[in-house]
Amino acid sequence: MWLHIDPRSEVPLYQQVVDQVREAVARRWLQPGDRLPSVRELAIKLALNHNTVAKAYQELEREGLIETLRGRGTFVAERKPRTASPEDLAWIEQQIRQLLIAAHHLGLEPETWLELAGRVVARWREPEGGSS
Amino acid sequence: MWLHIDPRSEVPLYQQVVDQVREAVARRWLQPGDRLPSVRELAIKLALNHNTVAKAYQELEREGLIETLRGRGTFVAERKPRTASPEDLAWIEQQIRQLLIAAHHLGLEPETWLELAGRVVARWREPEGGSS
DNA sequence: CTATGTGTACCATGTTATACGGTACATATT
DNA sequence: AATATGTACCGTATAACATGGTACACATAG
């Protein structure tokens, strides 16, 4: 199971599920058509309430990443070709700036940060755990 | 006043204050020794409760960005030279990955994202609003 | 048809974070 | 003494989060 929940994190439990499915889809660990665990099944495995898992799935469907079929289950949706809008780009830029600020206060200057980002991008399509 | 609060944002009000002071310090719009508005003064200007502003200032002091002196006021602290720890680097990498995932779902591939990040870094030390 | 599994919609409860309003205290400056 | 500062309380209110339980609509397998 590639999903793991940290109950002591400040990140809401349903949000942790959303984040991890998002990552799995983005990195193609999950392919379109793949079936996700059922709401109740996943709730038991992660020791969560079924309502919490359902909330995560509903958020993911709202984003268009998954499709749910009554009585059948939940599946990874087809990836729709999409071009980032100017608003999207502005939002992404803002997020980058926020990260630059945080990195600066941790002692990482923008140029060094950019090198680090380059390395992360280079490792983008690798399996999961880089080293042992 | 460079501080502005959006009451309809999902970001907590005190967090908005923290973020903006963090940015002002990181980008040297505020210099060490500069005095920040008093808790009550800022509370009135931003239409916040004094407790909310105080919470923001206490968070900023906890991070070492500002210093508070009883009866005197709140001031931007000296920047302490610091090297990012391995834990810090791991955290930053994780944040970068999260951003890459979000960008991907908006239609921005890692390589394009990296170019965008490069442009943001290039504009890092500019005043405030790039163009008109 | 029945039984089971699916997503979903409720309802109620409890916890926590956020934000407010008010008051009061310790300290520093004037 | 008067004022301004940060801070520490108290209480209240709202919203998000998470749980537990029940029930319904739909699909599939027997």
pLDDT tens column, B32-71: 999 999 999 999 999 999 999 999 999 999 999 999 999 9
Yes or no, beta carbons of B108 and A84 under 8 Å apart: yes
pLDDT of residue B126: 76
**CA A129 – CA B99 distance, rounded (Å):** 19
Residue B131 lies inside a defined structural domain of this protein: no
**CA A92 – CA A73 distance, rounded (Å):** 33
Confidence of residue B131 (pLDDT cuts 50, 70, 90): very low
In three-state secondary structure terms, B73 is strand
- Does A41 contact strand C, using a CB cutoff of 7 Å? yes
* Partners of residue B95 in chain A, C-beta under 8 Å: 99, 102
Instruction: From residue B122, give the alpha-carbon distance in Å to each of A1, A39, A131, B96.
Output: 41, 46, 33, 18
Residues B61 and B23 in one domain: yes
Residue after which a domain boundary falls, among B53, B76, B99: B76
Instruction: From residue A84, give the alpha-carbon distance in Å to each of A22, A87, B6, B8, B114.
Output: 17, 8, 25, 25, 15
- Are A84 and B106 a contacting pair, CB within 8 Å? yes
Instruction: From residue A124, give the alpha-carbon distance in Å to each of A1, A27, B78, B104, B120.
Output: 21, 8, 38, 11, 21
**CA A24 – CA B78 distance, rounded (Å):** 42
Yes or no, beta carbons of B105 and A19 under 8 Å apart: no
Residue A99 has pLDDT above 90, yes or no: yes
Confidence of residue A126 (pLDDT cuts 50, 70, 90): confident
Percent of chain A exceeding pLDDT 70 equals 95
Residues B71 and B90 in one domain: no
Digit-coded pLDDT (tens) for A4-58:
999 999 999 999 999 999 999 999 999 999 999 999 999 999 999 999 999 999 9
Residues A70 and A91 in one domain: no
pLDDT of residue A130: 40
Residue B127 lies inside a defined structural domain of this protein: no
pLDDT of residue A1: 66
pLDDT of residue B45: 97
Digit-coded pLDDT (tens) for B63-110:
999 999 999 999 999 999 999 999 999 999 999 999 999 999 999 999
Full domain range(s) for residue B96: 86-122
Amino acid at B93: E
pLDDT of residue A2: 78
- Are A83 and B107 a contacting pair, CB within 8 Å? yes
Percent of chain A exceeding pLDDT 90 equals 90
